[in-house]
Amino acid sequence: MNLSIDIGNTRAKLAVFQDDNIIDFIAFDTSELIKIIKKIISKYTISASIIASVATISEKISEELKKLLNPIYVTNQTKVPFINRYGTPKTLGVDRIALAAAAVKNYPKKNVLVIDAGTCITFDFINHKKEYLGGAISLGIEMRYKALHTFTAKLPLLEPKEVDDFIGFNTNTSIHSGVVNGVCQEINGVINQYKKKYPDLTVVLTGGNTFFLAKQLKSGIFANPNFVLEGLHTVLTHNLTND
């Protein structure tokens, strides 16, 4: 069994894989990382592991992880199952590397647009030749709510809410429409841009807001909240079999 770990600034997720199937999944606060891993390795026999982290891991935690797992860390030097055509490959985020790997594994010989709706909304495009070409980075839903509150004098800070009507009838519903409907229109617009150039486009939606947005977007989108973890497993397997 293999272990994939995705570490964010405050939250982390991990998945235990048997072959290509997730048999266990945990989302937790990053402060509990070692505790959760000890729990996992006491329950399963982990043969190999991989970590993608956008947060800085302390030397102490790194040493503990080495003793417990001796994991592969995803970097711009890690071997991947796709061709990186990004103009600045050293700056490509480890989460986006994982998403590209998941795309070529799950949708071989397809043009794939992966939309990761998390803290930021990222758009990543991988063509049918396994070439990662790039994409876009935009503000996430929570970030937009916070920006409206932070950079104005009177607008309240609201929690995300589904929009029943795109015409807001008061301040709160206008904010919800501006943020949520705005995000949906942005995503649909970007998808349409890609489809004009790649009519056979496959679209995958992932990230923390996957199901919140999936209900409000156009049909024909594959929703998979664990796409990063699946991509990490793909990178791990690629490295284990191509040494």
DSSP string, 3-30: EEEEE-SSEEEEEEEETTEEEEEEEEEG
Q: Show the tokens assigned to 13.
A: 């997720």
Quick check: 242 pLDDT over 80? Answer: no
State which residues form the domain around 111: 75-242
When pLDDT is cut at 50, 70 and 90, the band that residue 243 belongs to is low
Tell me: is residue 164 an annotated ligand-binding position: no
120 and 189 inside one domain: yes
Greatest CA span in the chain, whole angstroms?
60
My answer on whether 175 and 222 are in the same domain is: yes
Q: Is 86 annotated as a binding residue?
A: yes
Instruction: Give exposure, 104-137, as e/b (b: 16+ Cβ within 10 Å).
Output: bbbbeeebbbbbbbbbebbbbbbbeebebbebee
Give me the DSSP letters along 155-223.
PPP------S-SS-SSHHHHHHIIIIIHHHHHHHHHHHHHHHH-TT-EEEEESTTHHHHHTTSPSSEEE
User: Are 64 and 177 in a shared domain?
Assistant: no
Does 66 share its domain with 162? no
Ligand-binding annotation for 152, yes or no, is no
134 shares a domain with 52: no
Same domain assignment for residues 162 and 44: no
96 labelled ligand-binding: yes
Mean pLDDT of 69-98: 93
Q: Same structural domain for residues 188 and 154?
A: yes
Q: Which of 19, 20, 95, 200 is catalytic?
A: 95
- Give the dihedral of Cα atoms 50, 52, 211, 112; nearest 10 deg: -90
Domain count, the chain: 2
Question: Are 8 and 125 in a shared domain?
Answer: no
pTM across the whole model: 0.92
Over residues 153-180, the pLDDT tens digits come to 999 999 999 888 899 999 999 999 999 9
- On whether 168 is known to bind a ligand per the annotation, the reply is no
**6 annotated as belonging to a binding site for a ligand:** yes
Q: Are 51 and 7 in contact (CB under 8 A)?
A: yes
Q: Are residues 57 and 98 in the same domain?
A: no
Query: How many Å apart are CA 176 and CA 78, to the nearest integer?
Result: 41
- 69 and 81: one domain? no
Q: End of a domain among 36, 55, 73? A: 73
**pLDDT digits over 55-71, tens only?**
888 899 999 999 999 99
User: What CATH number did the domain enclosing 36 receive?
Assistant: 3.30.420.40
DSSP type of residue 31: G
Is position 11 annotated in a ligand binding site?
A: yes
For residues 130 and 33, membership in a common domain is answered with: no
103 & 174 share domain = yes
Q: Does the annotation mark 95 as catalytic? A: yes
